[in-house]
Amino acid sequence: MFRHGLPISNRARAESVFYNFALHVHPVKVRKRSIKFTYTFGLGGLSAGLFFILTITGALLMLYYRPSVTEAYGDMKDLQFVVSSGQFLRNMHRWSAHAMVAVVFLHMLRVFYTGSYKPPKEFNWVMGVLLLVLTILLSYTGYLLPWDQLAFWGVSVGTNMARAVPFGLGDKVSYLLLGGNIVGENALVRFYVLHCFILPIVTLGLMGVHFWRVRKDGGV
Ligand code: HEM
């Protein structure tokens, strides 16, 4: 499991970074300033950590949730009043989602104000922007799943905005999102698949590219 000795020499320290999965996000040699907490505030790592918490709590919530207009609201009420720790699980998921949007945004501000988007990191900045969009879309698609008034009208407003896309594309985008012209059963199933499968997989892939670039661009 461990392919290096205790990190007591420069070589052993280099090997412990090189052979360690978690430390592998950083190159073997990094600038002293970049490991100071006050440089990154650990915001990138925290974003990844929140994504991990959301994946675990999300998988557990899927055990109690059925994406159907007749069952969804009842299942949410069961989570609230019947399933033991159901309300805690749901709140963990909801608050981690809010926190992830905020932390990813703060991470972007950190990167911007430290000028860490400048060459050779401009590609990673673009990957980051895509990750920000995915983080917001993950929150938005999760919004519909409780199937309560807030969810229904939130998605009605959002998909009506999508209808405003010009060149006749608006109706197509809205139809694609809703699986029809109304916020109904098809929309609930589509948002469920987007939220629980498609968007997390794409986000995970982009995070892999993002971490790889952090390493290849010479670390933070
Ligand atoms: C799910 C969202 C994201 C995750 C998990 C993530 C993760 C990370 C991690 C772990 C690092 C290295 C250390 C650190 O700075 O904390 C990093 C660096 C970086 N991130 Fe992100 N990030 C995300 C979103 C973003 C966004 C929204 C942007 C910009 C729009 C961005 C741009 C960058 C850049 C340019 C670097 C290199 C910074 C440097 O070398 O100082 N990332 N990211």
Contact at 8 Å (CB) between 207 and 49? no
Local structure of 84: helix, strand or coil: coil
**CA separation, residue 81 to residues 46, 87, 98, 147, 191 (Å):** 31, 7, 23, 17, 25
Mean pLDDT score of the chain, rounded to an integer? 91
The single-letter DSSP state of residue 32 is G
d(CA 118, CA 121): 6
Q: Specify if 200 maps to a domain.
A: yes
For atom 40 of ligand 1, which residue has the closest CA? Answer: 220
Give percent of the chain with pLDDT exceeding 90.
68
Q: What is the total count of domains within the chain?
A: 1
Contacts of residue 56, Cβ cutoff 8 Å, sequence gap at least 6: none
Q: Specify if 27 maps to a domain.
A: no
More confident residue, 215 or 81: 81
For atom 29 of ligand 1, which residue has the closest CA? Answer: 128
Residue 23's pLDDT is 67
- pLDDT for residue 208 is more than 90: yes
pLDDT tens for residues 21-52? 666 666 677 777 777 888 889 999 999 999 99
Residue 26's pLDDT is 65
Instruction: Taking residues 104-115, report their average pLDDT.
Output: 96
Q: Which residue stretches of the chain are H helix?
A: 10-18, 37-40, 43-62, 72-81, 86-113, 122-144, 149-162, 169-178, 185-193, 199-216
* pTM check: above 0.85: yes
d(CA 104, CA 50): 10
Q: Specify if 59 maps to a domain.
A: yes
User: CB of 135 closer than 6 A to ligand 1?
Assistant: yes
Q: Specify if 131 maps to a domain.
A: yes
Residue 57's pLDDT is 98
Q: Which residue segment(s) compose the domain that 155 sits in? A: 35-213
Residue 27's pLDDT is 66
Q: For ligand 1, what atom is nearest to the CA of residue 217?
A: 40
Angle between helices 169-178 and 149-162 (to 10 degrees): 150
Lowest mean pLDDT segment, chosen from 36-40, 123-127, 134-138: 36-40
Give percent of the chain with pLDDT exceeding 70.
96
Q: Specify if 219 maps to a domain.
A: no
User: CB of 207 closer than 6 A to ligand 1?
Assistant: yes
Q: Specify if 76 maps to a domain.
A: yes
What is the Cα gyration radius of the chain?
21
CATH of the domain at 67: 1.20.810.10
Contact at 8 Å (CB) between 145 and 192? yes
User: CB of 124 closer than 6 A to ligand 1?
Assistant: yes
What is the whole-number distance in angstroms between the Cα of residue 119 and the centre of ligand 1? 15
**Assign residue 148 a region: left if phi > 0, alpha if psi is -120 to 50, beta otherwise?**
beta
pLDDT tens for residues 54-63? 999 999 999 9
More confident residue, 172 or 27: 172
User: CB of 127 closer than 6 A to ligand 1?
Assistant: no
Q: Specify if 72 maps to a domain.
A: yes
Residue 38's pLDDT is 87
Residue 20's pLDDT is 73
What is the whole-number distance in angstroms between the Cα of residue 55 and the centre of ligand 1? 19
Contact at 8 Å (CB) between 76 and 146? yes
Question: Identity (one letter) of the amino acid at 5?
Answer: G
What is the whole-number distance in angstroms between the Cα of residue 73 and the centre of ligand 1? 36
Lowest mean pLDDT segment, chosen from 21-35, 75-89, 103-117: 21-35
Local structure of 195: helix, strand or coil: helix
Pocket test for ligand 1, best of 25, 47, 126, 129 (most atoms within 8 A of CB): 47
- pLDDT for residue 162 is more than 90: no
Q: Specify if 23 maps to a domain.
A: no
For atom 11 of ligand 1, which residue has the closest CA? Answer: 44
Tokens of 14: 């280099």
For atom 22 of ligand 1, which residue has the closest CA? Answer: 44
Pocket test for ligand 1, best of 103, 201, 210, 213 (most atoms within 8 A of CB): 210
